[in-house]
Each structure stands twice: as structure tokens, then as C-alpha cells.
A and B are shown apart, each in its own frame.
Chain A
Amino acid sequence: MSLENKQISSENTSNFKPLIVAFCCNWCSYAGADLAGTSRLNYPANVKIIKVPCSCRVNPNFVLRAFQRGADGVVIAGCHPGDCHYTSGNYYTRRRFTLMKNLLEYVGLEPERFKVDWISAGEGNKFAAVMNEALEQVHKLGPNRKLRDARWKR
């Protein structure tokens, strides 16, 4: 283990506040998150959303950057396959991140830390459920040290 990783592990983990960065497509999943809001469905405040026009706008660089900056989990949420506002964007998302997720796991990331899911504008319930589940799993794993830049203080 390198020096910077040792530095992170010496941090106090008892009051672990996980951070989940969620990239949500404007048309389905961001609207689904809004619906979770209007329906007053609870999910923890550790989930923070970044709006993108389409899930196909999410560059793997963004995911890696989030892990670098200390995210404990990353979620990409888009329209269900077949429902993309831009016809086919999420089909590209699906291929890209099928490969990317496998690659990240291949270099050692736990599968639970990176998720892609399809959440429609009507699925406020699903949005809350997916986020709660992601958070629960990340909580079990503890703080993420992999791919993380120790110089960045969260």
C-alpha cells in the first residue's frame, strides 16, 4: 500500500458519512428525483445529484473524478432503454458503462460502489429505493480508498 493510502486509512472511520454522486439525465431520472421530492420520499442527504441532459453525456472521466475526489459511490441514472428522450443515448450509456464497470472492478473497485440504473420520470419510488440501496451497500463497505486522491480533503 502506498503512502497516500495509508494516510486515508488512518482517518477516523467511526463517523463515516458516505458520499454518493449521482449523475441523472434531465428527462427521466432527474425528474424521477424531483418526483421523489414532491412525494416526500426519504433518502439520505449523502446523495448529491448532478444533472446531465442524457445519461450518454456522462463521461467515464466524471466517474473517475468523483472517486478521485472522495466519493464513496457513484450512480448513473438514465431513462429506461427504449425511452431515451434522444432516441438512443442510453443504449450507448449501457454499452459504455457495461465495459467501464467491468474494467473498474478488474482494477479492484467493489461492484457495489458503481451503479447504473434506469429510472423513469414516474419512478420517484424507484429513485429513492435505488439511492437507499446504494448508500446501504456503500455504508457496509466503508469509506472508499481506491482510486482516491489523498491530497483532496473532503
Chain B
Amino acid sequence: MQRIGVFVCWCGTNIAGTVDIDQVKQAAEKIPGVVNVQDYQYMCSEVGQNLIKNAIKEQKLDRVVIASCSPRMHEATFRKAAKSAGLNPYLVEIANIREQCSWVHKNKEEATEKAIALVRAAVAKATLNTELVPGEIGVEPRALEIGGGIAGIQTALDIAEAGYKVDIIEKTPSIGGKMAQIDKTFPTLDCSACILTPKMVDASTHPNINLYTYSEVEAVQGYVGNFEVTIRQKARSVNADKCTGCGICTDKCPSKKAESEFDEGLRKRGAIYIPFPQAVPNVPVIDREECLKFKTGKCGLCERVCPSGAIEFNQEDTLVTQKYGAIVVATGYDLINLDKFGEYPYTEHPDVITSLEFERLTSAAGPTAGKFLRPSNGNKPKKVVFVQCVGSRDKSSRGKTYCSKICCMYTAKHAMLIKEKYPEIEVYVFYIDVRTPGKNFDEFQRRAVEEYGVNYIKGMVGKVFPEGDKLQVHGVDALSSETLIIDADMVVLAAATKAKDDAQELGRKLSISTDANNFFTEAHPKLRPVETHSAGIYLAGACQGPKDIPETVAQSSAAAAKAIGLLNKGKLVNNPCVSQVDEQICSGCLACTKMCPYEAISSQVIEVKEQGKIVKKTVAHVNEALCQGCGGCTVTCRAGALDLKGFMNRQILAEVDAICL
């Protein structure tokens, strides 16, 4: 017979207020195998833990059940306490009588009855618990950074500085991301490129950082400390080692029809192109959809003019597989498509632009060399209208329900940038609310209104009609209920931010979850904001939710700290709750090998004695380092030859029986 100790926690009045502790204790004492029952106000406190430790030693307890808060809260605490008293930590079971009992039920009698049932189930399970010893796994001292925007660059630099190797995978031909497209940054109005480009150069020259630009994640295998990632390096058609970045090829390219992604389509680029002058690496790429050589077989001009013979039309995608201990996801965001917002003729009228296009128009390196001109006719606008929340805080299916967070601030910035250069231009901003929390943020926005005379109008724009060479903006001032008609020259739309379209696909490859809006989900909204539910995978930047630059950088350094902490451990303890095979019962059908998500089950041939003869027999074999303990195989196994340590068939059935008493 087991010697089980039951410890009932009051959690102050959190449990004791709704659950009759004495009744729980009395009921626990009657359960076969229970030899010691105690209660305490805060079992997780040092006094409470000592109570448990002493009881283990003095009463020679071989199983411990703690009726307290959720095991997600303090299971680790109590296991540690048991271990220090010489008891295998896996002989501890928790009955969750707070989150799943006292906090959700009001009736004391019913809550007490349920608490007793939960204690009974935990004792029933604990009775069948066995000692489990976790194994050790190594940690590959190298991190992978997915995404080469400011989040990725910051994280990579931090990790590299700590002395670990980092690889950055960037989908586009250059690192830099959205921040590289931005002209000035709020709330300081300093030049975005001036603070970003040095970091880009640092990343490319750091001895610990390796860039995979124009590359994507093909497949991810493995687990924390030992991820195995296959990277697809798309064919650049230019040999990066030979290329000097002289740019002759991009000048001479006769095809100039493609829209520059970097300039948001406001400028054309060649089929062979460098995304922007400060690109890192400064190596062009051939857009095979546009290139005449690829389309017609003729041309090849770039190859002829290249002084270093770097053009390679026959390049193919290459796959690289690399091991990593930690992965940081920093894939960023995009703006939503505005096709469905017919009230603003964005798709039809060149003078209706998005905020990101505005950034390019005001940038000194942009298509107008920083002169603020109407895309339709190149004239200077007289009136500009900004529309906020285009698709943000929008409950209809075309928009996003959430606040995009950055628009209020960048619109104030845009308005100020216009007023700074051209004080005579009238600027109007239609908004639902102005949301500017953040250090020096509200002051910044107020300056736009108070110092620069930007007209803020609380209300939405109903429709924008092209009228001659003007854009007639029909809006409502919600404060005066007046209908406003503004003859604008340009309309700038604060399009909602959205998660990357391929976020779910990447999430699936990494086994990390996405929320209803396809942003990656953090492990805990408050306490584990940069971790995911998959150990060893961290989040940085706007891929987790809309974020501005300061927040992104802070989160990136946080993710880096987490990754460094992991890499620094060198060794990890793995989960001992893994599947095991009863070779006597296993028939060798190997159905389990097919369903295992981790390919942790293989087959092996063993010799068994059958009716006095030694015969060979095929059975399943679990690789404990690969098994993550989901237990799916135990259900695939009809005979019950596979069982999951810590959650054995017998244990769960015993819990069912105990709950149904």
C-alpha cells in the first residue's frame, strides 16, 4: 500500500472562502493509501513547502497530492520541494481546486463536493504514479532569426554580441524591412535610414552573423535546442561572391516595367535590380518574371556589361539544412489590401495613397527626391486629407477589429512633415479617436495641432469623389454633426496593419500558434510575452501584434535575452513523460510510426521466447529524445502496447473512476 500525503491549500480565502477545507481533509483521510493530511494557508510559501518536505521525511510519504491552484501555476514549485525532500518529483500530483473549482463555483457545498472529487482523482492517479527520470539533451549553440527587419536585426545583433552564431533568413533581396522604407520616425523626427542603415551594416559584417537573403524557411524539424531547419535560397541569378555592387547591370537593363516594391509602386525598376541604394547585401537580383532573357531567351545585356562575370542565368534554388538551438520569429507585418474600400477610390485615383506610399513620397531618397508632389500631375498639393482607421477597428469582414496602434502617431508625423516643408498646405485629419500613449507621444501629437495648425476632425469620411483634378472628400464632423466637403488634392489612407499572409503556414512549420488575426500567439499575454508555446521559439516585433519601432526593438532585445539564456544552458532536461512500448504486447503493426508527429517511433526486430523457441519479432521502438509526449500513438495502438509515462491508460481510467464516485 502506498503512503500518500494530501496537502490542502487555503490560498488565503481564494480557496477557503468557497471550499470547506475541513470537509476536504476529512474526505481525504478516508481514501485508501492516504496516511497524512494537512492544510495550510499558503502551501506555496516557504512555510507551506517546508510542511510538505517535513511530512515526506517524517511520515515516509511515497506519493504527494497537493490540492491548490492550477498545476500550470505551481506544479514546478511543489515538484522541486518534493525533490529536495528526496521524493521523485513525478510522484507529486496536483488537484486544481482554485482555478477549476473555488473560482468558478459560488455554492460552497457544491464546490466542496467537487474539490473532494478532484482530490480523490488526484490520489487515484498518484497511486499509480511511477518514478520518472528526465534525460538530458544538448543545445546547438546557434540561433536562427526569421525575418530581417529592425526586429530581426536587433535580435541578431544582441545574440551575436553575446557570442553565439546567428543566421538571419530574409525573404526579400535585402534586410531592412519596413523601417528602411520609412522617411522619419516618431516622436523624434529623426531620419529612419540614419539609425537603421548602420545597424544593417553591423549585421552584415558581424563575424557571428550570417545572412540568408532572398531565402525562405522550407521545413523545420526537431525540438528545443535541436531544431533542424531547411532554408531555401532562391536563385538570385547573380553570384554574390563575384558581384561588386557596381550597379552597371541595373542601369543598363532594358526592361523597366516592374514596379519597385521598395517604393510601393511609385517608381519603376529594372528586371535586374537592387531594391534600394543602401541594400544589404548590395547585390542585385534578377526578377525572372520580368527579365527578357528568361521570358524570350534574348537579351542577356547584364551578362555582357558585368565587369566581374557575376551574372548566372542558370542558377537554381539551393537548400541548406542547419541545426539551431533557438529560433526567433520576426516576420513583421503588411498593410491590408484596400480593394474592398470603394468609398476611397484608392485603386482608381493616383492621388489617393496609403501611409506607406506617403513615406516614400516625402523621403529624400524617394521617387520625388523628397518633394511632396501629387502623383497624378506632379503639382504641389494645396489641401491634403488624412483618413484614420481605414480598416482598423472595423468589425466588418473587409477590415480588422483591432487598433493598428501606429497610425495615430505616424499621421501626426506626416502632417508635421508637410507643414514643416510647406506651411501653406492645409492639412486635415479625420479620426475616430486619437490614441497616443507612449513616452513623448501625446506631446508629439499635440504639437501637430497646436504648433503646426493641423486640422483634426473627429469623424469618418463617407466618400471621396474625384471632381475634375480634385478629390472631393465628404465627411462628418461628429462633434458639430456638420457635413464637411473638402476639395482635397491628395488623400492619405491609414490602412490597417495585418499579419503576413503566410504567417499561418510558417506557424504550422514551426508548430507555433496564430490568433484569430493570424498574429503569432505569445505563451502568456503578460508574463511570457516573447515566448511561444513551443519551447525554444521566440517572437519579436509586429508578427506578434501591431507595434511601433521602440516597442519592437524592446521586444527584440527581450527575445534575444531569452534565446541567449537558452543557448547558454548548453544542456536541457527533457520531458520524461514519453511513450513506451510493451514489447510483449506489441504486434508490430507499426500504425504508431505513421501517426507520430515527430517521427519518434521506428521499428526494431527483437528476439523473444515463444513456446520454448527463440523467434524474431518486429516491434515498435520509441526514441525518447524525439518523443514530445503527446500520447497520440497510445490511441492508435489498439492493443494498448504503447502507453504514455505520466499519463498511463491505467492512471487516466483511475481518474475517471474516482471522479465518477
**A residues neighboring B (CB under 8 Å):** 19, 21, 27, 30-31, 33-34, 36-38, 40-46, 48-54, 56-62, 65-66, 69-71, 79-80, 82-89, 92, 96, 120-122, 128, 152, 154
A92 to B71, CA, bound (A): 26
Q: Shortest distance in angstroms between A120's beta carbon and chain B's nearest beta carbon?
A: 8
A-B contacts besides A59-B649, A65-B656, 7 pairs, CB < 8 Å: A42-B106, A45-B114, A46-B114, A53-B631, A54-B630, A57-B652, A71-B660
B630 close to A53 (CB less than 8 A): yes
A79 to B659, CA, bound (A): 24
Given A48-B118, A53-B647, A85-B511; A34-B99 close (CB under 8 Å): yes
Specify which chain B residues have a CB less than 8 angstroms from the CB of A86 in the assembled complex.
Answer: 511, 597-598, 628, 630, 632
Can you report 18 A-B residue pairs in the complex whose CB atoms are below 8 A from each other? A21-B660, A31-B72, A33-B100, A37-B103, A40-B104, A48-B114, A50-B659, A57-B630, A57-B635, A66-B656, A79-B513, A83-B513, A83-B521, A85-B534, A85-B630, A86-B598, A120-B513, A122-B525
User: Closest residue of chain A to B114, judged by CB?
Assistant: A45
Contact of B105 among A45, A51, A56, A80 (CB under 8 A): A45
A154 close to B660 (CB less than 8 A): yes
B174: interface (CB < 8 Å):
no
B233: interface (CB < 8 Å):
no
B380: interface (CB < 8 Å):
no
Specify which chain B residues have a CB less than 8 angstroms from the CB of A42 in the assembled complex.
Answer: 104-106
A70 close to B660 (CB less than 8 A): yes
Segment 576-607 of B: residues with Cβ below 8 Å from A:
577, 595, 597-598
B653: interface (CB < 8 Å):
yes
Given A57-B634, A86-B628; A50-B656 close (CB under 8 Å): yes
Specify which chain A residues have a CB less than 8 angstroms from the CB of B595 in the assembled complex.
Answer: 92
Specify which chain B residues have a CB less than 8 angstroms from the CB of A48 in the assembled complex.
Answer: 114, 117-118, 121, 659
B629: interface (CB < 8 Å):
yes
Contact of A62 among B73, B96, B515, B656 (CB under 8 A): B656
Total CB contacts across the A-B interface at under 8 A: 149
Range, interface on chain B: 35 or more
B105 close to A44 (CB less than 8 A): yes
**B residues neighboring A (CB under 8 Å):** 70-73, 96, 98-101, 103-107, 110-111, 113-114, 117-118, 121, 504, 507-508, 511, 513-515, 521, 525, 533-534, 577, 595, 597-598, 628-632, 634-636, 644, 647, 649, 652-653, 655-657, 659-661
A48 to B628, CA, bound (A): 26
Specify which chain A residues have a CB less than 8 angstroms from the CB of B107 in the assembled complex.
Answer: 45
Q: Shortest distance in angstroms between A53's beta carbon and chain B's nearest beta carbon?
A: 5
A33 close to B649 (CB less than 8 A): no
User: Closest residue of chain B to A58, judged by CB?
Assistant: B635
